[in-house]
């Protein structure tokens, strides 16, 4: 500890909707505990985004929040979404617009989603333990292109609607480079997932990745169609090291892959570009359990580990967080989503008790 530099960081906390505030609280507490233990100086600001921001200002991403985001060193984000909008798909102002806009404005084109099972959670997954054991995948999901940001059109009479799936060469190149570089530091395998047998944008994607692979002769680069990848992930997840894929495919595949980590409640992600990064659980606002105090705070806490590691370069601190989570699980503490009915010595706890347990072990 004494050899480490004291760092000063400004962190914007955007708790958002649903279970966002309940779980993000613990991400922040963990940051505070780390600051204390390693004598860093973390300064926190708060910002509104999503449904809560619409209610307060009419805007899912108020200018004030965006400004604070641009000035911060990192953003800890919870979740957004509200059932009200899902039941009425025609509402013009929607919480998700806030998240999509902040990704675009901050240039967060790479979404890293590490999928790794804590041994203690082998039984929590719906996949057989012998298939899962040892699986360790790092997803690079492209985050600012694709149908998410392509032109949207609809007929005035409501008879058709369309979303443009578009990729530019530079968009594929920059995410693929990040993925190749990450693969270099891991098991040197990169699988690029596309739908090049059908889609022009995927054929561009594949050609760009293929060309780049010449710069990384030490990385084994393969290509897989997305339908096959969806199946292979469940059939034999250990075959994958790093996966790079487009925005929509990555959105879907990483929800699926969360089962490899036991539960959505465990998965953290880092959205990065060339400046400030945003760190968030991959789970959504989970309105069905919001306010009940039963949500799993570990994805938020593990997002903090990613912030420490990727955002601030504080590897030792990041490892300490992961170790604390691991020890909490080893001690038998479980939120409902990762509870295993067949193991009698598990203690089912709520959000706050789980957060406390992790803090204690820091």
255 labelled catalytic: yes
Q: Smaller CB distance to Mg ion: residue 251 or 352?
A: 251
195 labelled catalytic: yes
Selected binder of Mg ion within 173, 251, 326, 340 (CB under 5 A): 251
Which residues sit opposite 192 in a β-bridge?
223, 244
Q: Shortest approach of ligand IPM to residue 271 CB, angstroms? A: 8
37 labelled catalytic: no
How many angstroms separate the most distant Cα atoms in the chain?
68
- Nearest-angstrom CA–CA distance, 340 and 120: 10
Q: Smaller CB distance to ligand IPM: residue 99 or 260?
A: 99
**DSSP line for 193-218:** EE-TTT-HHHHHHHHHHHHHGGG-TT
Per-residue mark of binding to ligand IPM, 67-106 (x: CB under 6 A): --------------x--------------x--x-------
Binding-site partner at residue 96 among ligand IPM, Mg ion, none, CB < 5 to 8 Å by type: ligand IPM
Q: Shortest approach of ligand IPM to residue 250 CB, angstroms? A: 8
The DSSP 8-state label assigned to residue 162 in this structure reads E
Neighbours of 99 (CB within 10 A): 23
Measured in degrees and rounded to the nearest 5, phi and psi for residue 13 equal -105, 120
For residue 214, how far is the Cα from the chain centroid? 29
Selected catalytic residue, list 85, 116, 163, 255: 255
Give how many residues touch Mg ion by CB under 5 A: 1
Q: Shortest approach of ligand IPM to residue 151 CB, angstroms? A: 18
Is position 124 an interface residue for ligand IPM (rule: CB under 6 A)?
A: no
On whether the CB atoms of residues 26 and 297 are closer than 8 A, the answer is yes
What angle, rounded to 10 degrees, do the helices at 298-306 and 315-330 form?
Answer: 160
Site for ligand IPM in 307-326 (CB under 6 A): none
251 labelled catalytic: yes
Is position 306 an interface residue for ligand IPM (rule: CB under 6 A)?
A: no
Sign of the Cα torsion 251, 254, 258, 261 reads negative
Is position 45 an interface residue for ligand IPM (rule: CB under 6 A)?
A: no
- Find the residue with minimal CB distance to Mg ion: 251
Sign of the Cα torsion 336, 341, 342, 343 reads positive
185 labelled catalytic: no
Binding-site partner at residue 256 among ligand IPM, Mg ion, none, CB < 5 to 8 Å by type: none
In three-state secondary structure terms, 80 is: coil
Site for ligand IPM in 247-286 (CB under 6 A): 251, 282, 284
For residue 54, how far is the Cα from the chain centroid? 23
Q: Smaller CB distance to Mg ion: residue 81 or 277?
A: 81
Positions touching Mg ion (CB under 5 A) are 251
What residues act catalytically?
148, 195, 227, 251, 255
């Amino acid at each position: 500890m004494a050899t480490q530099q004291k760092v000063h960081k400004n962190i914007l906390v955007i708790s958002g909707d649903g279970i966002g505030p309940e779980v993000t609280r613990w991400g922040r507490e963990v940051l505070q505990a780390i600051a204390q233990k390693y004598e860093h100086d973390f300064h926190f600001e708060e910002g509104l985004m999503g449904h809560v921001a619409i209610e307060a200002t009419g805007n899912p991403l108020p200018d004030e929040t965006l400004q604070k985001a641009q000035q911060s060193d990192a953003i800890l984000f919870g979740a957004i979404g509200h059932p009200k909008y899902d039941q009425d798909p025609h509402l013009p102002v929607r919480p998700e617009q806030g998240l999509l806009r902040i990704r675009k404005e901050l240039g967060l084109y790479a979404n890293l989603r590490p999928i790794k099972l804590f041994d203690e959670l082998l039984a929590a997954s719906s996949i057989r333990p012998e298939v899962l054991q040892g699986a360790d995948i790092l997803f690079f999901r492209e985050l600012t292109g694709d149908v998410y940001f392509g032109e949207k059109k609809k007929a005035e009479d409501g008879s058709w609607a369309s979303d443009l799936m578009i990729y530019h060469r530079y968009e594929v190149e920059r995410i693929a480079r990040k993925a190749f570089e990450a693969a270099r530091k891991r098991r040197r395998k990169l699988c690029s997932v596309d739908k090049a047998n059908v889609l022009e944008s995927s054929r561009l994607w594949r050609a760009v990745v293929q060309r780049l692979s010449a710069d990384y002769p030490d990385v084994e680069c393969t290509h897989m169609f997305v339908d096959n990848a969806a199946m292979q992930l469940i059939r034999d997840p250990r075959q994958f090291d790093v996966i790079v894929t487009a925005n929509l495919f990555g959105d879907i595949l990483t929800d699926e892959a969360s089962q490899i980590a036991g539960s959505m409640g465990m998965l953290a992600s880092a959205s990065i570009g060339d400046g400030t990064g945003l760190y968030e659980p991959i789970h959504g606002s989970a309105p069905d359990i919001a306010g009940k105090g039963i949500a799993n705070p570990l994805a938020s806490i593990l997002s903090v580990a990613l912030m420490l590691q990727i955002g601030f370069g504080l590897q030792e601190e990041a490892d300490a967080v992961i170790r604390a989570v691991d020890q909490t699980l080893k001690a038998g503490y479980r939120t409902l989503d990762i509870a295993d009915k067949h193991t009698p010595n598990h203690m089912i706890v709520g959000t706050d008790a789980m957060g406390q347990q992790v803090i204690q072990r820091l």
